[in-house]
Amino acid sequence: MAGQNMSSKFRGCLVGSLFGDCMGAPFEGNDISSGDKLVIQRYFDRMEDPNFKGPFKKYTDDTAMMKSVAQFLIDTPEPDLKHLAELFTNEFFKQPRRGYGGSVVSVFEKLRKSKFNDIFLPSKEQFNGQGSYGNGGAMRIAPIPLYFHDDFDNMLNIAAESTKITHSNELGIHGALLQCLAVHQAFLADPNTPINVDEFCNKLLEKMKAIERSYYNDVESDSDTPYCERIKLIQKFLSTKYSDEYDDEVIRDLGNDISAFESVPTAIFCFLRAQNTIPGIKTDNIFRRTIQYAITLGGDTDTIACMAGAIAGAYLGEESINKAILQHCEKVEDIVKLADSLYAARPHDGKG
Ligand code: F2R
Ligand code: MG
Ligand code: MG
């Protein structure tokens, strides 16, 4: 991949993640009616008008934590997870009112109190030892598949270990790995060639099968593990006619809540469905369609749009993102700089 394309994909991915978070945050927790979908269409149309002046859309915990993941890779070329735990914790105490998950806050408190003695212990203690299955690991993962794009094993290892600082439940960890794989595949895809949605899913399925089968080692060879079953469901939905309205079934069967299991597959689905037109969403821009569709599903809108935005931005690059809307996202210039620093810090062979 040429250097210019690659740096555009780094920017597209991190800015895409910020964009989804900022645009989705005002709707987090809402059920979206057909009237609301019209309001959301107008909301995007208005923001695309370069003359529109409006207050900043603030970013939330999704971006706050994604920034720390990028910074940790930039600061310590040999990944130092203790440093990441410190970055998460310091960022939280600097700006605690970013809408963090209800329970993850106690991980930061324990980490600080214990002076980062065992960075994995507080997370293991969550929910009486079950660990969190929230989507907090997945929502922040994007910098890892960018940085390790040509080192697959290290990518998965650091993705899992960095997630375990806050999320020790397997569904939280595997959700983060699935999002990591989706960003990675999108990053490696040629933005000038349409995505073959079935092939994209089959590749994800193959990699997720290996991850889940090695965890659930008693699983029968032909039975499906949780995330693999969800990927097959995505394929089933996408084989339905693109002109069909089936959002209620998507919400019911794939989910739209704060758990990784009920949101990561949904974000991937949003990206894949947006490769084609969607009823009620009037735009030719695939990136915008991805985010706008994710928000119209309601529920955990900031996080589903953030994850879908990271995948879409990694595929399409920064050129696909409307500059006028971006102006309304808090700290967009900082995220562009962060993406450039991550690009410069990546391990590379000197060719790119
Ligand atoms: N926190 C929110 N949204 C709530 C409203 C915010 C509002 N807009 C505001 O500004 O005040 N959003 C953010 O949280 C999600 C990421 O959460 P994360 O990092 O995974 O946190 P946590 O606390 O670990 O898990 C979240 C909740 O999931 C449930 N849960 C998790 N594991 C569980 C288990 N083993 N048993 C039972 N419940 C479990 C709990 O309710 C946790 O509090 C993102 O949406 C981000 O945007
Ligand atoms: Mg959030
Ligand atoms: Mg959220």
Distance CA 307, CA 286 (A): 15
Distance CA 210, CA 316 (A): 28
| Ligand 1, atom 23: closest residue by C-alpha | 103
DSSP letter (8 states) at residue 30: B
Q: Which ligand has its closest atom nearest to the C-alpha of 63?
A: 2
Sign of CA dihedral 92, 96, 101, 103: positive
Ligand 1 atom index nearest CA of 166: 24
| Ligand 1, atom 35: closest residue by C-alpha | 132
- Nearest CA to 290 out of 5, 17, 7, 10 is that of 17
Instruction: Please give the tally of structural domains in the chain.
Output: 1
Q: Is residue 299 part of a domain?
A: yes
First to last CA, the chain: 7
Q: Which ligand has its closest atom nearest to the C-alpha of 138?
A: 1
Rounded distance from Cα 102 to ligand 2 centre (Å): 11
- Could you list the residue range(s) of the whole structural domain that residue 192 is in? 3-345
Q: What is the pLDDT of residues 46-63, one digit of tens each?
A: 999 999 988 889 999 999
Which amino acid makes up residue 175?
Answer: G
Q: Which residues surround ligand 2, an ion (CB under 5 A)?
A: 60-62, 99, 302
Rounded distance from Cα 296 to ligand 3 centre (Å): 14
Q: What is the CATH number of the domain that holds 306?
A: 1.10.4080.10
Check residue 175 and give its pLDDT.
Answer: 98
Are 270 and 290 contacting, i.e. CB atoms less than 8 angstroms apart?
yes
Rounded distance from Cα 185 to ligand 2 centre (Å): 24
Ligand 1 atom index nearest CA of 105: 23
Ligand 1 atom index nearest CA of 263: 45
Task: Please give the backbone phi and psi of residue 341, each rounded to the nearest 5 degrees, phi first.
Answer: -65, -40
62-84 in b/e form (b: 16+ CB < 10 A) is bbbbbbbbbbbbbeeeebebebb
1-5, 171-175, 328-332: which range is least confident on average?
Answer: 1-5
Q: Which two tokens stand for residue 280?
A: 């009620």
Q: Is residue 69 part of a domain?
A: yes
| Ligand 1, atom 41: closest residue by C-alpha | 102
What percent of the chain lies above the pLDDT cut of 90?
A: 90
| 3-class state of residue 271 by DSSP | helix
Q: What is the pLDDT of residues 228-263, one digit of tens each?
A: 999 999 999 999 877 668 999 999 999 999 999 999
Q: Is residue 260 part of a domain?
A: yes
| Ligand 1, atom 33: closest residue by C-alpha | 132
Q: Which ligand has its closest atom nearest to the C-alpha of 170?
A: 1
Q: What is the pLDDT of residues 116-167, one digit of tens each?
A: 999 999 999 999 999 999 999 999 999 999 999 999 999 999 999 999 999 9
Q: What is the pLDDT of residues 192-202, one digit of tens each?
A: 999 999 999 99
Ligand 1 atom index nearest CA of 300: 45
**Rounded to 10 degrees, what is the CA torsion of 297, 298, 301, 305?**
10
Q: Is residue 327 part of a domain?
A: yes
Q: Is residue 350 part of a domain?
A: no
Ligand 1 atom index nearest CA of 102: 43
Check residue 350 and give its pLDDT.
Answer: 52
Q: How confident is the model at residue 100 (pLDDT cuts 50, 70, 90)?
A: very high
Check residue 218 and give its pLDDT.
Answer: 65
Check residue 252 and give its pLDDT.
Answer: 96
Q: Is residue 29 part of a domain?
A: yes
The residue-averaged pLDDT of 17-27 equals 97
Ligand 1 atom index nearest CA of 107: 24
Does 268 have pLDDT greater than 90?
A: yes
Ligand 1 atom index nearest CA of 99: 10
Pocket of ligand 1 from Cβ distances under 6 Å: 28-29, 60-62, 99-104, 127, 130, 132-136, 139, 169, 258, 300, 302-303
**Best residue for ligand 1 mutational test, from 21, 258, 297, 330 (most atoms within 8 Å of Cβ):** 258
| 3-class state of residue 261 by DSSP | coil
Mean pLDDT over all residues of the chain? 95
**Rounded to 10 degrees, what is the CA torsion of 273, 64, 143, 3?**
90
Q: Is residue 151 part of a domain?
A: yes
| Ligand 1, atom 16: closest residue by C-alpha | 136
Q: Which residues surround ligand 3, an ion (CB under 5 A)?
A: 300, 302-303
290-314 in b/e form (b: 16+ CB < 10 A) is bbbbbbbbbbbbbbbbbbbbbbbbb
